Amino acid sequence: MEAYAQRTKKRFGQHFLHDRGVITRMLDSLALQKTDRVVEIGPGSGALTLPLLQILPELHVVEIDRDVIAWWRSQTTLAGRLHIHAYDALKLDLSTLQDETHQALRIVGNLPYNISTPILFHLLSQAETIRDMLFMLQKEVVDRIIAEPDTKDYGRLSVMIQYYCDTNHVMDVGPGAFNPPPKVDSAVVYLRPWQKLPHAADHPEHFAQLVAKAFSQRRKTLRNTLKGMIQETQFKQLGIDPSRRAETLSVADFVNLANLSPTSN
């Protein structure tokens, strides 16, 4: 099979993974079975795609770059096994990639760093279709995803991802594992949507709005950032000091605040 020879494109945030050791560790962490329905976001030059096809009889890939799409479609030896979906991942309807049994999807990818957070939020809005996810991301983003309350990295992303998923750091990856090397360190994170939410919001959209508002001005207290959403008596009812800052609250605290406060509906 001929190697992909096109140049990477900055507008798509392309940094193609090539380190075999990293790839092996990523795949080992998934423990794939031949019956799994796997979707790769951004196959690029095939660093993950080809090893995946050594394990799986079929693979679905989502790609926006027309040159990459054309190259993969020219690989006739993969016809019938590699299913190429020419979509923007930010608009992807995951249910269209499920089979008639509606088997939950296993999603992998080296996500473009410039839009990784919007992609994560888009995927989590369809969490019911996902079994698990394994992503290469900027290390700073992974640090925020797995952060615990009352730490510098803990924020809106931490709360929202941990609300929907069990999160695990797999490994750190240096710039030399990519071509071209990014200017930042990377890391691999494993996300598994909860089968049953540990702390369920009555109105998820309202919960998301409350979390976003609480972290909109990190240096301000909850009394100030949530003014108009949470009353002093409601803070007291939950045993939460309104002079605290958002980064000191757990996911459960945010859910309890959201469930106690009125929605705009």
* 198 falls within a domain: no
* Domain co-membership, 189 together with 211: no
Predicted pLDDT of residue 8: 47
Q: What digits encode the pLDDT tens for the residues 151-180?
A: 999 999 999 999 999 999 999 999 998 877
Task: Answer yes or no: do 215 and 188 share one domain.
Answer: no
- The answer to whether residues 41 and 100 belong to one domain is yes
- DSSP letters for 55-89: H-S-EEEE---HHHHHHHHT-GGGTTTEEEE---G
Which of 193, 216, 249 terminates a domain? The answer is: 193
Residue 7: the pLDDT is 52
Q: Domain for residue 180, yes or no?
A: yes
Residues 103, 186, single domain; the answer is: yes
Does the pLDDT at position 81 exceed 70?
yes
Residue 240 and residue 30: Cα distance in Å, rounded?
39
148 and 240, same structural domain? no
The pLDDT, as a whole number, for residue 124 is 94
Q: How confident is the model at residue 183, as a pLDDT?
A: 86
User: What is the pLDDT, as a whole number, of residue 15?
Assistant: 62
Name which of 42, 39, 45 is nearest 19 in CA terms: 45
- Closest-CA residue to 238 (of 251, 257, 222): 257
Look at residue 18 and tell me if it is in a domain. Answer: yes
Which pLDDT score is estimated for 5?
47
Residues 169 and 129 in one domain: yes
For residues 264 and 137, the model is more confident at 137
Per the domain annotation, does 5 fall within a domain? Answer: no
Does residue 12 surpass a pLDDT of 50?
Answer: no
Same-domain status, 171 and 227: no
**H or E segment and range at residue 132:** strand 130-138
Average pLDDT score over residue span 27-36? 96
Residue 13 has pLDDT above 60, yes or no: no
CATH code at position 48: 3.40.50.150
- Residue 160 sits in which domain range? 10-193
pLDDT digits (tens, 9 = 90+) for 33-76: 999 999 999 998 898 999 999 999 999 999 999 989 999 999 99
In sequence order, the β-bridge partners of residue 40 are 61, 108
State the alpha helices, DSSP H only, in 168-221: 204-214
Q: Residue 181 corresponds to which tokens in the numbers above?
A: 């090397």
Q: What is the pTM of this model?
A: 0.90
Q: What is the pLDDT of residue 121?
A: 95
**Are 94 and 158 part of one and the same domain?**
yes
pLDDT for residue 1 is more than 80: no
Residue that finishes a domain, picked among 142, 159, 193: 193
Q: Are residues 168 and 241 in the same domain?
A: no
What CATH number has the domain bearing residue 248? 1.10.8.100
Residue 226 confidence (pLDDT) above 90:
yes
Out of 193, 221, 240, a domain closes at 193
Residues 82, 32 share a domain: yes
The helix/strand/coil state of 253 is: helix
Do 216 and 178 sit in the same domain of this protein?
no
Looking at the domain assignment, is residue 215 inside a domain?
A: yes
Number of domains in the chain: 2
Beta bridge partners of 172: 187
41 is a domain residue: yes
Domain membership of residue 135 (yes or no) is yes
Band the pLDDT of 261: cuts 50, 70, 90.
Answer: confident
- Residue 194's nearest CA partner among 204, 206, 209 is 204
The answer on 26 and 93 residing in a single domain is yes
Q: Which two tokens mark 148?
A: 């615990």
Find, among 220, 248, 21, the residue nearest to 149 by Cα.
248
Residue 186 lies in a domain: yes
Segment 176-224, tens digit of pLDDT? 988 778 889 999 999 999 999 999 999 999 999 999 999 999 899 999 9
What phi, psi does 142 have (nearest 5°)? -65, -40
Rounded to 10 degrees, what is the CA torsion of 235, 239, 244, 248?
-120
**115-132 pLDDT, tens per residue?**
999 999 999 999 999 999
